[in-house]
A and B are shown apart, each in its own frame.
Chain A
């Protein structure tokens, strides 16, 4: 199975021994050994998955990287987070997905209103199975636990991904009227309830000087 390592916080190193990974198109920055890069229509599920992605707009340009050696991936100097999946399902915005083990199945899932507020469409990408995945974020992401006793509200622009049995719904931030004018209509939150983990990035608009 492909080995995922972090080389610093912004470069992902993947050790391959004849196996393959799926990665965001064009994300390779360097490699040692023998590698081949093949474009895929967008992450599995055959023809049906392809049609779904076309319809939903949750289309990701994915390439299959196969070979012997080490391949290095990076995406616009974004921070990289490793996620190990053991049978569970990860929900992630396709723009935040850098690389997945080819043993993982990818698909699309309906997100309801949340997606349209994010400008990411009504659908999100799902990653399921056993293996490693790498997510990119603007600034180092934090992993927040949600339990039935402690629900979590997240800014749609700061949300990256989640795992576990979580119900999400969209709520308007009625208590933040003062912000409405300034935030360009983004005074909404996603409320997560249930049991699981949510990955949150330090949203760029809240960080002085970008990605310090």
Chain B
């Protein structure tokens, strides 16, 4: 169920009988055909355990289930929308950036503090994104939101990418992330370059970066 990009801020999805789509609650802009929208209390799948996991992790952006037959247009807050097609790999994204995604994708929550030790824990505090992130895995598409357009940067062995934590949107693949600091004595005496913290992503995959340092 691929998304059809209508404008830089709006996508359209085809809904078929027997297929489910999840979207952020209230993100429907228009629809054609016979389509039902029901609040999804569990916020996707994973049963009760998944639900509790998300509650505890505070990764519980209200979702709704979209079912029926027709076409639905999604958009939210005038943010830019970027479509990511997954082919069996895993996408890591904050739940509030998820606009809509294929119901066939397995949804989960991941503790980022386990990556990079103490700096992994600090990462959440610095980025304001918390210690947990939502994962989507399988075959299907997801539409994510960003402030400004999205830049795709490939990560390869020996080719890590450094990202401003505020500009980070999502990443996919077999990627380790750690927060690195560039704090020297200059920063201590108030001459910071404004780039004191960077997120270092290494491994194999892709990172999505927005053209802005503003949160959604």
Chain A residues close to B by CB (< 8 Å):
7-11, 25-32, 35-39, 61, 63, 72, 74-77, 209-210
A74-B211 in contact given A10-B148, A38-B186 (Cβ < 8 Å): yes
Q: What residues of B have a CB within 8 angstroms of the CB of A9 in the complex?
A: 149
Q: Is the CB of B193 within 8 A of A29?
A: no
Are A30 and B207 in contact, CB atoms less than 8 angstroms apart? Answer: yes
How many whole Å from A72's CB to the nearest CB in chain B? 6
17 A-B interface contacts by CB (under 8 A): A8-B149, A8-B211, A10-B211, A11-B211, A25-B194, A26-B193, A29-B163, A29-B164, A29-B210, A30-B151, A37-B193, A39-B192, A74-B213, A75-B212, A76-B147, A76-B212, A77-B211
The CA of A28 and the CA of B167, in the complex, are separated in Å by 9
Choose among A37, A72, A75, A210 the residue that contacts B195 (Cβ–Cβ < 8 A): A37
Smallest distance from the beta carbon of A78 to chain B beta carbons, Å? 8
Contacts beyond the supplied A30-B151, A31-B162: 9 A-B pairs with Cβ under 8 Å: A9-B149, A11-B149, A27-B194, A30-B207, A37-B195, A39-B191, A39-B193, A72-B209, A77-B211
A50 to chain B, nearest CB (A): 13
Q: B159 at interface (Cβ–Cβ under 8 A)?
A: yes
Once the chains bind, are B151 and A8 in contact (CB under 8 Å)?
A: yes
Q: Are A39 and B186 closer than 8 Å at their CB atoms?
A: yes
Whether A29 lies near B213 (C-beta < 8 A) is yes
> How far apart are A176's CB and chain B's nearest CB, in angstroms?
30
Question: Given A25-B193, A25-B194, A77–B209 Cβ distance below 8 Å?
Answer: no
- The residue of chain A having its C-beta at the shortest distance from the C-beta of B163 within the complex is A30
Interface code B181-216, partner A: CB below 8 Å = 1, 0 otherwise? 010001000011111000000000001011111100
List the A residue with the shortest CB-CB distance to B154. Answer: A32
Q: Write out the residue numbers on chain A whose beta carbons fall within 8 Å of the beta carbon of B163.
A: 29-30
Q: Is B153 an interface residue (CB 8 A)?
A: yes
Q: For A7, A25, A26, A30, which residue has the most chain B Cβ atoms within 10 angstroms? A: A30
A28 touches B195 (CB 8 A): yes
- Whether A30 pairs with B164 at a CB distance below 8 angstroms is yes
Q: Whole-angstrom distance from the CB of A115 to the nearest CB of chain B?
A: 25
Closest to B196 in A: A37
| Shortest CB distance A96–B (Å) | 16
Rounded to whole Å, the gap between the CB of B151 and the closest CB of chain A is 5
Q: Which residues of A contact B84 (CB under 8 A)?
A: none
List A contacts of B149 (CB < 8 A).
8-11, 77
The answer to whether A30 and B161 touch across the interface, beta carbons within 8 angstroms, is yes
Distance (Å) between the CB of A194 and the closest chain B CB?
35
Contact A32 B151 (CB under 8 A): no
Indicate if B128 sits at the interface (CB-CB under 8 A).
Answer: no
Q: How far is the CB of A211 from chain B (nearest CB, A)?
A: 9
B78 within 8 Å of A by Cβ?
Answer: yes
Q: How far is the CA of A7 from the CA of B193 in the complex (A)?
A: 23
* Among B149, B159, B186, residue most surrounded by chain A Cβ atoms (within 10 Å): B149
Asked if B209 and A76 make an inter-chain contact with CB atoms under 8 angstroms apart, the answer reads no
- Note all chain B residues with C-beta closer than 8 A to A37: 182, 193-195
Smallest Cβ distance from B73 to chain A, in angstroms? 17
